[in-house]
Amino acid sequence: MSKIALPFHPAPKIPDITLPAGACDAHCHVFGPAARFPFAPSSTYTPVDAPKEKLFELHRHLGFERSVIVQASCHGTDNRAMVDALIAGGDAYRGIAMVKRDIDAGELQALHDAGVRGVRFNFVTHLGAPADHDAIREIVGKIRPFGWHAVLHFDAFRLEELAPFLKSLDVPLVIDHMGRIDVAAGPEQLAFQLLIDLLQDERCWMKVSGSERLSRQGPPFEDAAEYGRMLVERFPDRVLWGTDWPHPNIYENMPDDGALVDLLKIIAPTPDLLKRLLVDNPTRLYWPETL
């Protein structure tokens, strides 16, 4: 492990906007507590404990009624902390796991029963060894019968090389944090155009989260939120948003999660777009049985 994480914001503001009923935080994490769920030796950062009770408290404070907890690299393929949170959260919580290629159907079924609906593959080099393509193909073959999807964390500047492989995976694809595009390079940049190209495929979904990661201007991160708005307006039925609490690998300007919610005024500027982003789309992907 290397860099020591900053603590998450101790007292986020109450957002100015009221979230629609059934709003879902579609990307957040639980870390530890380390005494019960130790971090993986392979982690490239040293997290602070961010246990489920704090996450649930944040969701109540911000107005989220549902959420998707995404396995973070600091726990590797040990999904116990995430699964423990899903079980405590009940049907309002779904999960994304990270798994080894030799996982079997029984283990996948147990994750499914806990609320897991997808697996995550990391292609960003700052989180460790990039995902192995053969292993991904094997895992995708195993999750397809469960109706799961693949969550992809990559840097869009690598899309020229990555896109053919990603398109060959025959499950729905959910892209993290707007493909981590360089928001200073303008919407005409090749990486953003390749991202849009990928999204023309109806299997692809985009998380318009991560403005605090992508921003070059700093708080309130509006330069990055503008890209979120472009994606929401263009693909209103295949976008998701999440807080990314407790914000791993943010080493300056730790965001106030209430202020991040307020960025949705830019990202989804009408009540209709906001409801699709926070309610309708996550419901279709994570709670289709309720439709």
Catalytically active residues are: 244
Neighbours of 140 (CB within 10 A): 19
Query: Interface with ligand 0GY by CB under 6 A: which range of 30-38, 82-90, 105-113, 243-251?
Result: 243-251
Query: Interface with ligand 0GY by CB under 6 A: which range of 8-16, 163-171, 244-252, 256-264?
Result: 244-252
DSSP codes, 37-91: SPPPTT-SEEPPPB-HHHHHHHHHHHT--EEEEEPPGGGTT--HHHHHHHHHHGG
Residue choice 244, 255, 261, 279 for contact with ligand 0GY (CB under 6 A): 244
- Would you say 105 and 125 are in contact if contact means Cβ atoms under 8 Å apart? no
Residues 125-154 that bind ligand 0GY (CB under 6 A): 127, 153
Pick 182 or 233: Cβ nearer ligand 0GY: 182
Position closest to ligand 0GY via CB: 249
Omega before 288 within 30 of 0, i.e. cis: no
The whole-angstrom separation of Cα 215 and Cα 193 is 19
Binding status of residue 283 toward ligand 0GY by CB under 6 A: no
CB of 186 to ligand 0GY, least distance (A): 22
Binding status of residue 248 toward ligand 0GY by CB under 6 A: yes
CB of 260 to ligand 0GY, least distance (A): 13
Residues 153-212 that bind ligand 0GY (CB under 6 A): 153, 176
Pick 17 or 135: Cβ nearer ligand 0GY: 135
CB of 70 to ligand 0GY, least distance (A): 6
Query: Interface with ligand 0GY by CB under 6 A: which range of 66-74, 85-93, 108-116, 181-189?
Result: 66-74
Residue choice 249, 259, 273, 275 for contact with ligand 0GY (CB under 6 A): 249
Long-range contacts of 8-13 (CB under 8 A, 24+ apart): 8/48, 8/50, 8/54, 8/245, 8/246, 8/247, 8/254, 8/257, 9/254, 9/255, 9/256, 9/257, 12/58, 12/61, 12/62, 12/256, 12/257, 12/258, 12/259, 13/256, 13/258, 13/259
CB of 207 to ligand 0GY, least distance (A): 9
Binding status of residue 257 toward ligand 0GY by CB under 6 A: no
Residues in CB range of 115: below 8 A, 6 or more apart: 86, 87, 89, 91, 93, 94, 95
Query: In angstroms, what is the C-alpha Rg of the chain?
Result: 17
Query: Interface with ligand 0GY by CB under 6 A: which range of 30-38, 68-76, 160-168, 264-272?
Result: 68-76
Residues forming contacts to ligand 0GY in the complex (CB under 6 A) are 72-74, 127, 153, 176, 213, 244, 248-249
